[in-house]
């Protein structure tokens, strides 16, 4: 079983809709989490970090549930520019390593 | 300010040749990471530097892979006797202080796309 698991999608969502992704992790040593977005043939770009229960930045909300070992990302009022692959990432302060999920592909449809 | 830079952006090499990939982290960032991403795959951790030392080399796939970092800044990843399975995008990332909650985020460079023919 992978340490960080995501539904690969693709998610095809109409513009303006709300979309949510979930990510589960198996290693309880992961103490903090990130969402990165990665456009085709580009590097991952940091979207949000979440350490406590949640974090909100504009249209984006990330939530962490340690008891159930999952992290979610909610995108409200989706834009065409939100089309990308979203990577769920766990961080272990002990060994200072990131563990990446394989990503969820999102396409926003006009 | 300037982000993480990597060179070359693309490298095509023949099987059996050696290649060197370079990473310039964000100025002042103490930690530097190398990852590999094969086509359609997730990111695979290779090696991590804190300053000039590498406390974790566990991700290097074979002894053909080595990396060094000098002056707490620039890092080079060397692949000797390249094989076709080494073809991938090699990504470098840096963070200001991986032990602090306020400064542990990793920022990625644009990557080097390596093709071994």
Tens-digit pLDDT profile for residues B3-28: 999 999 999 999 999 999 999 999 99
Out of B42, B56, B91, the one facing A102 most closely (by C-beta) is B42
Average pLDDT over residues B84-112: 91
CA distance B90 to B87: 9
A91 close to B (CB below 8 A):
yes
CA distance A50 to A32: 6
Higher pLDDT: B15 or B105? It is B15
Chain A residues closer than 8 Å to B53 by CB: none
Residue of B3, B42, B60, B114 to mutate for A, most A C-beta atoms under 10 A: B42
The predicted structure's pLDDT at residue A93: 81
Joined together, the tokens standing for residue B10 give 């693309």
CA distance B110 to A108: 24
The predicted structure's pLDDT at residue B1: 58
B45 close to A (CB below 8 A):
yes
Residue window 27-46, chain A: list those with CB within 8 Å of chain B.
32, 34, 42-46
Q: Give the model confidence (pLDDT) of A39-63 as tens digits.
A: 998 999 999 988 887 889 999 999 9
Please, which residues have CB within 8 angstroms of residue A99's CB and are 6 or more apart in sequence? A3, A4, A25, A27, A30, A89, A90, A91, A92, B45
Beta carbons within 10 angstroms of residue B65's beta carbon: 18
């Amino acid at each position: 079983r992978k340490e960080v698991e995501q539904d690969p999608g693709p998610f095809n969502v109409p513009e303006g809709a709300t979309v949510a992704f979930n990510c589960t992790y198996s290693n309880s040593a992961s103490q903090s989490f990130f969402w990165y977005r990665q456009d085709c043939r580009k590097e991952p770009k940091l979207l949000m970090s979440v350490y406590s229960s949640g974090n909100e930045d504009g249209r984006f909300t990330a939530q962490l549930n340690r008891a159930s070992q999952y992290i979610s990302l909610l995108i409200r009022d989706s834009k065409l520019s939100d089309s990308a692959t979203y990577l769920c990432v766990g961080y272990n302060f002990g060994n200072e390593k990131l563990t990446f999920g394989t990503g969820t592909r999102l396409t926003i449809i006009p | 300010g300037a982000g993480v830079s990597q060179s070359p952006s693309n490298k095509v090499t023949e099987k059996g040749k050696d290649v060197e990939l370079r990473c310039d982290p964000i100025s002042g960032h103490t930690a530097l990471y190398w990852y590999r991403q094969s086509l359609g795959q997730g990111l695979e951790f290779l090696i991590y530097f804190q300053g000039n030392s590498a406390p974790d080399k566990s991700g290097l796939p074979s002894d053909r892979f080595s990396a060094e970092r000098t002056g707490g800044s620039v890092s080079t990843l060397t692949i000797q006797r390249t094989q076709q399975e080494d073809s991938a995008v090699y990504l470098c990332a840096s963070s200001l202080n991986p032990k602090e909650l306020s400064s542990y985020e990793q920022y990625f460079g644009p990557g080097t796309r390596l093709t071994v023919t």
